[in-house]
Amino acid sequence: MGRVQDKVALVTGGAMGIGKACAMTLAREGARVLVTDVQDADGKAVVEEINASGGEARYSHHDVTQEQQWQSVIAEVLAAYDRLDLLVNNAGIAIAAASITEMSLEDFQRQNAVNLDGVFLGMKYCIPVMVENGGGSIINMSSVAGLKGSANLAAYSMTKGGVRLLSKSVAIECAQAGNGIRVNSVHPGIIDTAIWDKMMLNPDSGANTVDRDGIAMAMVPGAKLGSPQDIANGVLHLASDDSSYMTGMEFVIDHGLTA
Ligand SMILES: NC(=O)c1ccc[n+]([C@@H]2O[C@H](COP(=O)([O-])OP(=O)(O)OC[C@H]3O[C@@H](n4cnc5c(N)ncnc54)[C@H](O)[C@@H]3O)[C@@H](O)[C@H]2O)c1
């Protein structure tokens, strides 16, 4: 208990899945958490759960693709807590396509907007605030798909590879500036969340032909699916001062998938 005691955290896409587990875990370990998402009912339910169990959390509607909403969220966190120590840039979507030639430009740009613009804007607006309190930890959610190519998820894979090198580059900038901010990327393997149910290879027919369990069986040694908590445990380590010498690192949590 108390591994991030009294730190202030912002978790994007915190209404469900990995983001929810991160928000609950950071709150359990003493952080005050601003949970943000576009799914307001689920996001508010997460906050109620945290507050009912003795933690401290708030919810804010926040589309990570919208620059102005980042400015509002930063204003809210400063008004409520007067500081920011931790940013978990978790919000993400995965748009599948049978092949790159069958992907629309609109889908390609939407994929990029959520997964990369969102991470860029998060760092752009949170770093100056973290500098004010002498440092912080930024955790950007990438994927094993950011380490290797993924058929049917080419654009998703591109964004996650982008998150990986954006994180490393900003980590170097922060280290060279001596501003006390660490930046790392997290690379989950096959995790049991709703993101898989939303991947439609053939959306016109409503058919979801991405077989998560089949992929896990084929690719993960031991055929083991991960849980959101498995990822939140890694995020907690990067958020806590236990990882104070870790920056610019890719934290792979995949049960050997990429091994
Ligand atoms: N589940 C996996 O197997 C897996 C593997 C590797 C990486 N990831 C990454 O982990 C992160 C979380 O994914 P998850 O599996 O929990 O998915 P999820 O679909 O369960 O949750 C994603 C959350 O992000 C929110 N979101 C989507 N678009 C948003 C936007 N524009 N602004 C704000 N919030 C938005 C959703 O409302 C949702 O609450 C994503 O970045 C994903 O790419 C997941």
Residues catalogued as catalytic: 156
Q: What is the DSSP string of the chain?
A: --TTTT-EEEEETTTSHHHHHHHHHHHHTT-EEEEEES-HHHHHHHHHHHHHTT-EEEEEE--TT-HHHHHHHHHHHHHHHS---EEEE--------SSGGGS-HHHHHHHHIIIIIHHHHHHHHHHHHHHHTT-EEEEEE--GGGTS--TT-HHHHHHHHHHHHHHHHHHHHHHHHT-SEEEEEEEE-SB-SGGGTT--SBGGGTB----HHHHHHHHSTT---B-HHHHHHHHHHHHSGGGTT--S-EEEESTTTT-
Q: Assess whether the C-beta atom of 147 lies below 6 angstroms from ligand 1.
A: no
With 80 as the cut, is the pLDDT of residue 13 above it?
yes
Determine if the pTM surpasses 0.85. yes
With 80 as the cut, is the pLDDT of residue 1 above it?
no
Q: 251 has which bridge partners?
A: 186
Rounded mean pLDDT, 140-159: 96
pLDDT tens column, 18-70? 999 999 999 999 999 999 999 999 999 999 999 999 999 999 999 999 999 99
Q: How far is the CA of 116 from the centre of ligand 1 (A)?
A: 13
Q: Tell me the pLDDT of the chain averaged across its residues.
A: 95
pLDDT of residue 202: 63
pLDDT tens column, 177-203? 999 999 999 999 999 999 988 886 666
Q: How far is the CA of 28 from the centre of ligand 1 (A)?
A: 21
The CATH architecture annotation of domain 8-191+228-249 reads 3-Layer(aba) Sandwich (3.40)
Q: Assess whether the C-beta atom of 195 lies below 6 angstroms from ligand 1.
A: yes
Ligand 1 mutation target, pool 185, 193, 200, 250, most atoms within 8 A of CB: 193
CB atoms within 10 A of CB 75: 10
Ligand 1, atom 1, lies closest to the CA of: 191
pLDDT of residue 205: 60
Q: How far is the CA of 133 from the centre of ligand 1 (A)?
A: 29
Q: How far is the CA of 64 from the centre of ligand 1 (A)?
A: 12
Q: Assess whether the C-beta atom of 64 lies below 6 angstroms from ligand 1.
A: yes
Q: Assess whether the C-beta atom of 18 lies below 6 angstroms from ligand 1.
A: yes
Q: Assess whether the C-beta atom of 141 lies below 6 angstroms from ligand 1.
A: yes
